[in-house]
Structure 1
């Protein structure tokens, strides 16, 4: 979700005798222009599923969006970021590539018995998924404390949603599942704000306020 402009300062001062900079090539620009909106659409689809917009049995409802749009979009953004040397951005989008793709595969695998998981182990299998990703997103949250506060808040909200859905899964609580869905909508809304920030910068405007980093540089 981090933009190139947020992780690397650009030097616009250039001596008068210096040759003009080359035109942007295919590996220039800001990968967040692809990564952020594809993250948002998957989050909205997941949130709608969690709050019960579709029947509880239709857990595969968001998978088409999550695999074909969000998973691929995150992968494109990760490769793009790596190609322009933005390691932190590539790491973030790469992590969420893994999250969204593995979520889609988990849902399809459990629904079609791809992994030979006994029915009485389905709950703990889902909990395993949620615990594993909660640890990674918590690490990511800590790793972004030197970035603008909006990014740290985004990842903290994702961790909160994972924790709520984990508790809902273990306790069989529809209320906690719904609460998790509303937290998903909250970080999707923050993602929309970040997308406007990204597009403003990409179209020659000024970025939106993102808050001071929790930790100074």
Structure 2
């Protein structure tokens, strides 16, 4: 006859959360959102064109740093794909801040006549990488693929606006930035709901099935 004590002795112990656990998106997503909002407000003309450095404090101190911390966290718990995404965007935001500071302070030896080409180089390089991320996430829920596709579209719009010196196109790019910032807010509510014991929000079916 099996007693309550016997059943208790054979019961598997409850897992105890270790120091390396949790969801890195709880840091990565909100810091991404705040930088996106600041960048979008700059692109739509909330600040004068000469105040291009207005979002840099947020982008460097919050977004770039937050993405880097999230990437380290993800790598530490073995989430390689998540670490790749946050690490890539850490590079994007930090390099954007350095680009703005470098061009406005003449740090990189770029003459004034080459500033547009330098920005185009930056935007083209990152548009290619983010488009690659969109393709690489086709097996993830659709919300992530849409997010990266919107980011790539915003980069292309800002690239064309920069080359053509078009404030109107730049503003359109800013509204696309607001769109993916809103999607980022939705994703944050999703991960926070799961982290606090609730159900996650619908994220859509993957484009590609395993």
Do the structures match in fold with TM over 0.5? yes
Larger radius of gyration, structure 1 or 2?
2
Q: Distance in 1 between matches of 2:29 and 2:208?
A: 24
Q: Distance in 1 between matches of 2:176 and 2:19?
A: 36
Partner of 2:109: 116
> Secondary structure at 1:215's aligned position in 2?
coil
Counterpart check, 1:19 vs 2:13: yes
Shift of 1:24: 1.5
Partner of 1:9: none
Scaled by the length of structure 1, the TM-score of the pair is 0.92
Shift of 1:27: 1.4
Partner of 1:179: 172
Scaled by the length of structure 2, the TM-score of the pair is 0.95
Q: Distance in 2 between matches of 1:110 and 1:24?
A: 46
Alignment match of 2:98 (pick from 105, 127, 132): 105
Counterpart check, 1:41 vs 2:34: yes
Alignment match of 1:150 (pick from 143, 152, 167): 143
- Map 1:200-215 → 2, pairs under 5 A: 200-215=193-208
Partner of 1:59: 52
Q: Once the two structures are superposed, what CA deviation does each residue of 1:122-167 show, in whole Å capped at 9, x if it has no partner?
A: 0000000000001100110000000000000000000000000000
Partner of 1:11: none
Question: Runs ≥4 in structure 1, deviation > 3 angstroms?
Answer: none
Q: Distance in 2 between matches of 1:181 and 1:17?
A: 56
| RMSD between superposed Cα atoms in Å | 0.7
Q: Distance in 2 between matches of 1:26 and 1:20?
A: 16
Counterpart check, 1:135 vs 2:91: no
Q: Once the two structures are superposed, what CA deviation does each residue of 1:94-118 show, in whole Å capped at 9, x if it has no partner?
A: 0000000000000000000000101
> Structure 1: 5+ residue runs without aligned partners?
1-15
Q: Distance in 2 between matches of 1:27 and 1:132?
A: 34
> Structure 2: 5+ residue runs without aligned partners?
1-9
Q: Distance in 2 between matches of 1:26 and 1:72?
A: 20
Alignment match of 1:83 (pick from 71, 76, 82): 76
Q: Once the two structures are superposed, what CA deviation does each residue of 1:175-210 show, in whole Å capped at 9, x if it has no partner?
A: 100000000000000000000000000000000000
